[in-house]
A and B are shown apart, each in its own frame.
Chain A
């Protein structure tokens, strides 16, 4: 069965510093991986995906993620954090039946 782990409940980073939100996954076959962001009382917004191809995936709002097959990881990164990046971030993996399995979420706080 597919599973997703986000080992950190909370990540704090100073504005202007680089940020990393970690994600590891377990899936049979080739993974389809996604990152979403959620602001308070809103739905999830898609940030980026890995289906195939380059291991470094670029997405919305300056975010990128690095797919590492050997470590089964898909960490979300941004070179310079903004206060407005403060939100809840979810990693997800999709199985062949079109169902998505979400991680528990990581709350990112960017401090001014």
Chain B
């Protein structure tokens, strides 16, 4: 079945450490997105990519970085510059006017 796979499901970060969240899709979608969700809040866009080797900052890109070397993959790195990284991170993909498909998220916590 086609879908989006996010890993790991739970991740812990130490102070000063960078961590990378994986997002892989086999839907052949051009566009991919990273969102951050905090308790009781909606989704905030971190980065998005409409095509391979190109990506754009979203509303809250500071302290995060991404790459898009392959159509299927859009990893997110949470850097040590992100001072409040504890959140639920969601990856999504879409094609044209069709709705986004979402992965099941990665919950990041601080040790």
Binding site for B on A (CB under 8 A): 32, 34, 36, 41-46, 49, 51, 90, 94, 97-100, 102-105
Contacts and interface: CB of A to CB of B under 8 A. Distances in A.
B101 interface: yes
Interface residues of B, number: 24
Contacts of B88: 41
A57 B45 CA distance: 27
A105 B104 contact: no
A104 B48 contact: no
Interface in B35-59: 41-43, 45, 48, 50
B8 to A, nearest CB: 13
A98 B94 contact: yes
Contacts of B41: 104-105
Interface of B: 4, 6, 31, 33, 41-43, 45, 48, 50, 88, 90, 92, 94, 96-97, 99-105, 107
Contact of A99 (B42, B48, B103): B48
Contacts of A46: 99-101
A105 B48 contact: no
Contact of B43 (A34, A49, A94, A102): A102
A43 B102 contact: yes
B99 A42 contact: no
B90 A49 contact: no
